[in-house]
Structure 1
C-alpha cells in the first residue's frame, strides 16, 4: 500500500508541473495564431496579408533587444526562453531584503550605445553614476597581501603616465624605467595591420611587469580570461590608431582617456541593471509579443520553397516562422544550426573551460563605511587568494548604499577564469564558495569578516562566458556567416558572436535584425 502524499510533497509536485503546463498553454495560442496567419496568406483569400512572424530562441538581453526591434518593424514576435527567467547574464537576486544584480551590474559609456538604447526604453532618467571611488589592486605571494590604488588614468590597467608613484609602487623602479621606453621607442609599421593581442602590445611597448602586474589583473577580473586571448581592437577600439598617431602606447591611452575621466567610464541603473530586462519584458508584453518561459527549443527545420520557411519545435509543439533569431549561448545555438548544414559546413563547439561564479555577501560591518579599498579590488594571479576580483557594490553605487543603510555593505566576489579548470567553481558547492568568499573578502578589504557578520548570501553561476574575441572566435564567426548565407531570415545574436559587453551585444543584435539585413 503506497503512502499518501504529504501537503508539502503535493505542493512541490504541483510547482514542478505548473511551469511547463503554462508554457504549453502559451505555445498552443501561438500555434493557433500561426495557423490563422497561414490561412489568411493563402492565394485564394483577398484579406490583407498578416504580418510576418519572427521566433526568437533565447530570452537573454540579445534576444529581448532583437524581439523589440522586430516588433517595432511590424513583425509578430514569439520569444522562447528555455529557463524560468529572462535576461541571461543580466540577473537579479534578493539578499537580506536588498535587490542586487547577480550578473552584469554596469555598462560602458564609450560611444553611448547603451545609454542611447536606455533612452529609447525611457530609462535615461534612471541611469546611475558611480560614486567615483577608485579601484585597487591586490598583489602578494604566500601569505603576504599588498594593496595599492590603481593608476587613475589607466585603460585596462595600461597607464597613461608610467612615471607616477601609483605605477612605481606596483611594478617597482626598474620596471618603470622599462615601461618609460615606450615613449621613445619607434612604432613598428607592421603594427598598423597585423593581428595583435593585448598581451603582445603591452609586453612589447611597456614590458612584462606592466602586463603581469597591472594589465592581467584587470583583464582577468573584468573578462575572466588572459590578455593573450583578447584582440587589442576588440578590447580597446581606437587604441591601435591612436598608437599610430602618437607613436606611443601611453600617449594613445591618454588620448582615449581624455574624453573619459576616471569615474565616468561606466554607469548603471537605479535599482540595478535588471531594471532593463524588466522594462524590455513589460514593453514587449504591452506590444502583444508572446514571451514563453520554460520552453527549450529542440529543433529548427527550413524549407526554402514554403510560404513560411521555418518550423521551430519546442515541448512537442511546432511553430512556423518567417524569421528565426537564435539568441542562445554557443553550444545550444550550434546544436540547432548544425543539423541544417551539410557535414563539411558544420561548425565545431567551443570546448574551453569557462565556468564562472559570483558570490554575493551582505554584511553588517560598520568598519567598511569608509570603503577601505574603494569601489572594488582586482587581484593579481600570484596573490594568495582564490577570488579574482571583489566589487564593494554599496561603495560603488550610491543608490544601493542608500537602500542598505549605514553599516550594511554589499560585496560581490568573482571566481574562475575562462580556459582554466576550477574545481570549486565547477563543484556546484555554494556553501563552500560562500565560506571561501568570506575569507578572501577579509584579506582583500583588510577587515576581518566572520560568519556572524553575514546577513545573507547568494551564488550566481555562469557556464557560457566568452572572452571578447580570440582568433578562434573570429574564425568561428566567419564560418557561421558563410554557413547562414543561404538561409534567408535566419540570424544569430549574443555575446559569443558580438563579444563581451552590453554595448557589443545590443549593437550586434540590432544590426542582425535590421530590415536591410534580410
Structure 2
C-alpha cells in the first residue's frame, strides 16, 4: 500500500499526533507539551471528553457520564489542579450508601474489599443466615491458588458461596465495569486482592491482611472527589490548557488511515494527511484495531477481542419536598441493585445529597440518576427514552416508595462505553503493547488497558507520552529544539 507524501514540518520540535479526545488523549497531549513536543489532537466526534460529560437539568449542573474520581491516586487530582481547578475539587457530601436486595434496603456493609469480607458477620442482614454461615466455613476448604489470573466471581463463589457474589460483589463490580463478576479478571479489577492471595491460602485471611495493612497507615482524606460543576468540566479545562500552550485540537476529524513512512507516520483524515514523528492512540479498542490492521496485525487482532458494555444514565429532577418527605428514602448517596433480583436499574444516585453544588444550584429540586445496562444487556438500551424513564420510576417506587413525577428528565446512552476486563485481560494487554512497541514512535493508552477510572486513564496516557518522548528519534528532536 503506497502512502501519501505529507508536507514535512519545519519546526525542529518533534510532532506527535494524538488520536482521540477523551480524558486519556487530552492528558497525553498535556504531557507531551510539557516534554517539548508539538501536538495535534484529532477527535472523531463533535465534542471532547469521552465518557466525561457535563450538562444541566432544570438549571442544576450535573454529570451525564462519570461523576467522581478516585482521590487516593494522584493523577486525576494533580491534573485538575494543574489546569486551574484546585479550588473546585470537592469530596462527596456523604459517602454512605445502601444495597436494595430482595426488596429491602440494607446499609452498605463495612469492612470488605470490593464486596469480599474479612469477617462473615460484616454481611449479616444482607445475606441469609445460611449465606453468612457459608462464609464462615471457608477455613475448611483446601487452598485454591489464583494462578496467572482468575475470575473474581468464580473464585469468591467457590470460597464463600454464590450469595456473597450475587448480593454484593456483583453490584459493586457492576457499578465500575457494567460487567459480569463471573467473567471479570481479579488480577485486572481487584489487583490488591489478587496479590494478597498469592501469599495466603485463605480468601478471608487475604482480605484481613489487606485490612491490617490499611489499619497500620490510617487515612482521613477522602477516597473520592468531584469537581464543582461536575467532573465533566475537567476535559474542557485540560483542552484550554493544551490550546494555551500551542496544542492543536481538532474535533469532527476522524482518522481514516495510519501509515508508517521513512520519517515517521502519516495520519490521514478526510481533510488532509498529517505528518508525525510519533502517534499516541487514545481511541477505543475497536477503532485502534482498524487503524493498526495493516501496520500491526497482531496488535489489531488483540484489540479486536476487547469487548465493551453499553449503559444508559437516566437523570431526573423532582420537587425536593416530594423526595425528602419519603419515609422509605435511605440515608446516603443512593443504592446499588444486585442483578440477580431482575430489576431494570443497577443503581440510583441521589445527586442532590451527594454533591453540594447540585443542592446549592437548585434548592427547590431533588436531582437523582439511575443507571441501566450491563454486559450482555444491550437490548434494554434499544427502548425509547420514555420507557427507560418509566422503568426507572417503577423501580424507584418499589425501592423507596417514590410516586412523584419528575419535572425534567435526561437520558444519556453510552453505547460501547465500558471496556470489559475478562480473565486473561492483563496478559492480552501485555501482548498488545509488545506488538505496538515494535513500531517506532507509536503507543496506545486509555480505558481498554490499565483501568477504566479517570486516574488510571491519565496514568496510562502519561506512560504513553513518556515512552513516545523517549523514542531516540523524538528525543533527539526535543534536544535540538531546546538548543535553538
TM tier relative to shorter chain: 0.7 to 0.9
Residues 156 and 394 of structure 1, relative CA distance in 2, 3 Å threshold: same
Q: Tell me which of 212, 224, 230 is aligned to 2:184.
A: 230
Q: Secondary structure at the match of 1:512?
A: helix
Structure 1 position 185, deviation (Å): 4.8
CA offset digits 1:483-515 (Å, max 9, x no partner):
223311111111112221112111111111105
Structure 1 position 353, deviation (Å): 6.1
Question: Where in structure 2 are the equivalents of 1:28-67 lying within 5 Å?
Answer: 35=7, 38=9, 40=10, 50-67=12-29
The answer for the alignment partner of 1:7 in structure 2 is none
The answer for the alignment partner of 2:397 in structure 1 is 442
CA offset digits 1:238-274 (Å, max 9, x no partner):
2234453695144145336546779932221111102
Q: Which moved more, 1:360-369 or 1:460-469?
A: 460-469
The answer for the alignment partner of 1:424 in structure 2 is 380
Q: Which moved more, 1:56-65 or 1:110-119?
A: 110-119
The answer for the alignment partner of 2:312 in structure 1 is 357
Q: Highest CA radius of gyration, 1 or 2? A: 1
**In structure 2, how many angstroms separate the alpha carbons of the residues matched to 1:227 and 1:348?**
22
State TM-score, norm by structure 1: 0.82
**In structure 1, how many angstroms separate the alpha carbons of the residues matched to 2:180 and 2:284?**
21
Q: Which moved more, 1:492-501 or 1:361-370?
A: 361-370
Q: Tell me which of 137, 140, 145 is aligned to 1:181.
A: 137
Q: Say whether residues 1:493 and 2:445 are aligned partners.
A: yes
Q: Secondary structure at the match of 2:293?
A: helix
Structure 1 position 373, deviation (Å): 4.8
Q: Say whether residues 1:105 and 2:60 are aligned partners.
A: no
Question: Where in structure 2 are the equivalents of 1:187-202 lying within 5 Å?
Answer: 188=143, 190-191=145-146, 193-202=147-156
Do 1:242 and 1:255's aligned partners in 2 also have CA atoms closer than 8 Å?
no
The answer for the alignment partner of 2:417 in structure 1 is 465
Q: Say whether residues 1:479 and 2:441 are aligned partners.
A: no
Q: Say whether residues 1:69 and 2:31 are aligned partners.
A: yes
Structure with more contact order per residue of length (Cα contacts < 8 Å, sep ≥ 6): 2
The answer for the alignment partner of 2:321 in structure 1 is 366
Structure 1 position 376, deviation (Å): 1.2
Do 1:345 and 1:483's aligned partners in 2 also have CA atoms closer than 8 Å?
no
Structure 2 residues not aligned, in runs of 5+ = 1-5, 472-484
Question: Where in structure 2 are the equivalents of 1:68-467 lying within 5 Å?
Answer: 68-140=30-102, 145-164=103-122, 167-182=123-138, 184-185=139-140, 188=143, 190-191=145-146, 193-243=147-197, 244=199, 247=202, 248-255=205-212, 258=215, 264-303=222-261, 306-307=262-263, 309-341=264-296, 346-347=301-302, 349-350=304-305, 352=307, 354-369=309-324, 372-405=330-363, 407-418=364-375, 420-427=376-383, 429-450=384-405, 454-467=406-419
Structure 1 position 361, deviation (Å): 0.8
Q: Secondary structure at the match of 1:268?
A: strand
State TM-score, norm by structure 2: 0.87
Residues matched between the structures, number: 459
**In structure 2, how many angstroms separate the alpha carbons of the residues matched to 1:276 and 1:188?**
46
**In structure 2, how many angstroms separate the alpha carbons of the residues matched to 1:200 and 1:501?**
24
Residues 316 and 123 of structure 1, relative CA distance in 2, 3 Å threshold: closer
The answer for the alignment partner of 1:11 in structure 2 is none
The answer for the alignment partner of 1:9 in structure 2 is none
Q: Secondary structure at the match of 1:277?
A: helix
Residues 106 and 256 of structure 1, relative CA distance in 2, 3 Å threshold: farther
